[in-house]
Homo-oligomer: A and B are copies of this chain.
Amino acid sequence: MVYSSYENDYVNADDQKKGNAAMVSMKNIADRCHVSVATVSKALNNHSDVGEETRLRIKQIADEMGYHPNAAARALKTHRSYNIGILLRDDAHSGLTHEYFSEVLDGLKVEAEQKGYDITFINSHNNKMTYYEHCKYRNLDGAVIACAEFEDPEVIELVNRSLPTVTIDYIFNSCTSVSSDNVKGMRELVLYILNKGHKKIAFIHGESKSEVTKERLASFHRTLAEFNVEVPDEYVRASEYLNATKAEKLTKELMELKEPPTCIIYPDDLSYSGGINAVRNMGMLVPQDVSMAGYDGIKLSQIFNPKLTTVKQNSKEIGKLAAQQLISAIESPKTTFVQRIMVEGELLPGETIRDLN
């Protein structure tokens, strides 16, 4: 069969571009089956009080007629929408356009759809509603807070209300969280670098207020302290996530120190790209003159030349687990409890760390 968009031969005549496609309702099925709508409803929802043969007949006719329930009517009656919200605020440098969150969203989407849920973006509707009000307005069954200002009163309201919520990379006491294990990730990275003989390790990190940054910073310091490696204050610099320009500038500063580091860790792979530009512009090479490591494990990191040493975050898994947790909380609230889920990343050893041994 050939489908031609010009002849419209795929679409049957009674539902052309103009005609209002009236969806088939339970009433229609009821009429054709000579039963009441109640029976149709119960048959389709597999209630016990409907005869076996009628149930089958109704289901078959419903199939034949191409019946699908009306989500609005169902939601109105049951207060369940099979729709979950995702909060992904995309000002500044993060959110949708960040490969990490894109993949989290993708993992979330796949898992949710597989379980029969749809995904709708949450926003504040031009500040006419809070996030929570928006969820109620849309009858959302739950919400995933993927990327947001977690100190925002609106966000705090959202997690504290009765709506099931799951946060990503941030912990509230009242709701389940799924986080990338930044402590372990950073520790493994530092161990790897130490193992290569480095003692002068700098860390250009992301926004200080971010929970992710705090974890990585703490893990960085703790791991180095464990091995009695000193880290001068000037080796730790605050930058911003995904700000290559700032990373470049800070890298230059680091390399101009009297005692420059032998290795620099970046907040993310994109910042690393700014960093390597800085040293190249100074006539130096990575890893010959200075070693470098990224974080995230974006696709390009493994195509870079030299191949980047980085920690790949398991972002799709994070999204998937968030969906599972949320749906579990929605469907069996009594047996689902607040959890702290950590998803380990994977150290990808590349060619940007020189072996000093």
Report how far A95 CA is from B69 CA in the complex, Å: 28
CB of A327 within 8 Å of the partner chain: no
Q: Are B118 and A10 in contact (CB under 8 A)?
A: no
Residues of B within 8 A of A118 (CB): 120-121, 123, 138
Contact yes or no, A90 B69, CB < 8 A: no
Taking CB as reference atom, which chain B residue is nearest A104? B96
Contact of A173 among B5, B114, B136 (CB under 8 A): B5
Q: Smallest CB-CB separation from A120: which chain B residue?
A: B120
Q: How far is the CA of A235 from the CA of B303 in the complex (A)?
A: 24
B71 touches A137 (CB 8 A): yes
Evaluate contact between A303 and B280: CB separation under 8 angstroms: no
* Residue in B129, B173, B276 whose CB lies within 8 Å of A68: B129
> Which chain B residues lie closer than 8 Å to A70 at the CB level?
76, 137, 139
A298 to chain B: closest residue by CB: B300
Minimum distance in angstroms from A110 CB to a CB of chain B: 8
> What copy number does this chain have within its complex?
2
Q: Which residue of B lies closest to A247 (CB)?
A: B303
Query: In the bound complex, how far is the Cα of B174 from the Cα of A174, in angstroms?
Result: 50
> Min CB distance, A128 to chain B, in Å?
8
Instruction: Tell whether, in the assembled complex, residue A114 and residue B102 are in contact, meaning their CB atoms are under 8 Å apart.
Output: no
Contacts of A103 in B (CB 8 A): 96-97
Q: Are B270 and A299 in contact (CB under 8 A)?
A: yes
* Residues on the B chain within 8 Å of A75, using CB: 72
Q: Is the CB of A120 within 8 A of B119?
A: yes
Shortest C-beta distance, A233 to chain B (Å), equals 28
Is the pair A11, B161 in contact by a Cβ cutoff of 8 Å? yes
Question: Which residues of chain B are near A71, meaning CB under 8 Å?
Answer: 72, 137-139
Whether B15 lies near A162 (C-beta < 8 A) is yes
Of the candidate stretches A18-26, A36-44, A208-216, A259-267, the one touching chain B is: A18-26
User: Whole-angstrom distance between the alpha carbons of A268 and B52 in the complex?
Assistant: 57
Q: How far is the CA of A90 from the CA of B280 in the complex (A)?
A: 37
8 Å CB interface, A312-337 against B? none
Stretch at the interface among A152-160, A198-206, A223-231: A152-160
Chain B's closest residue to A303 (CB) is: B273
A 1-43 to B, binary, CB cutoff 8 A, 1 in contact else 0: 0010110101100011111110100000000000000000000
Complex: A104 Cα to B277 Cα, angstroms: 29
With a CB–CB cut-off of 8 A, which chain B residues contact A188?
none
Contact A96 B105 (CB under 8 A): yes
> When chains A and B are docked, how far (Å) is the Cα of A113 from the Cα of B116?
25
Residues of chain B within 8 A (CB-CB) of A161 are 11, 15, 17, 21
With an 8 A cutoff between CB atoms, is A49 at the interface? Answer: no
Also in contact, A90 and B72, with CB within 8 A (given A8-B174, A303-B270, A303-B277)? no
26 contacting pairs across A/B (C-beta < 8 A) = A3-B153, A5-B160, A10-B157, A11-B157, A15-B162, A17-B174, A20-B162, A66-B133, A68-B136, A70-B139, A71-B72, A72-B72, A72-B75, A72-B139, A90-B106, A97-B103, A99-B99, A102-B102, A109-B121, A116-B125, A116-B126, A119-B120, A119-B121, A244-B299, A274-B303, A277-B305
